[in-house]
Amino acid sequence: MKDEFHYRALEKMYLAAPINEIFKPRITVSHERAEIEIKVDRALFHAAGAVHGSVYFKMLDDAAFFAANSIVPDRFVLTTSFVTYLTKPISSGRMKSIGRVVNKTRAQIIAESVVYDEHGEEIGRGNGVFVRSKLLLADALGYHDV
């Protein structure tokens, strides 16, 4: 029950972030896993008519981040590094990223994520290193709005 509260509170925190007013995402957090979905919108395109790489990065980093933060019940985690691979352009439909923890120590959490198009085809992937910060989740915007 405590874990479920934490997962729902993380979801509320994510949705409360002002940047997500642009993306209008859906998120689901569970143990060592997070899924994020957005609708592809022309406002997210670069000049060649497809989704900008920064959107891929955000989808990948956010999914890995929330997978990592799912196992840290009291602190906001920070991304210390993140590698992104863009494997296929997308210009319509939906994007869905799935993040999962692949390694954890007392000092850091390594999580990877994959972003898919609405047909389930991989369009990008990434992995990152996350560390516990000094910021309490209780002080983060939206965390306790469950």
- The β-bridge partners of 109 are 104, 130
pTM for this one?
Answer: 0.95
Query: How confident is the model over 12-21, as a mean pLDDT?
Result: 96
| CATH no. for 2-139 | 3.10.129.10
pLDDT in tens, 116-146: 999 999 999 999 999 999 999 999 999 986 5
Q: Is the pLDDT of residue 26 over 70?
A: yes
Q: Give the residue extent of every domain in the chain.
A: 2-139
pLDDT in tens, 52-70: 999 999 999 999 999 999 9
Mean pLDDT of all residues in the chain? 96
| Rounded Cα gap, residues 10 and 126, in angstroms | 21
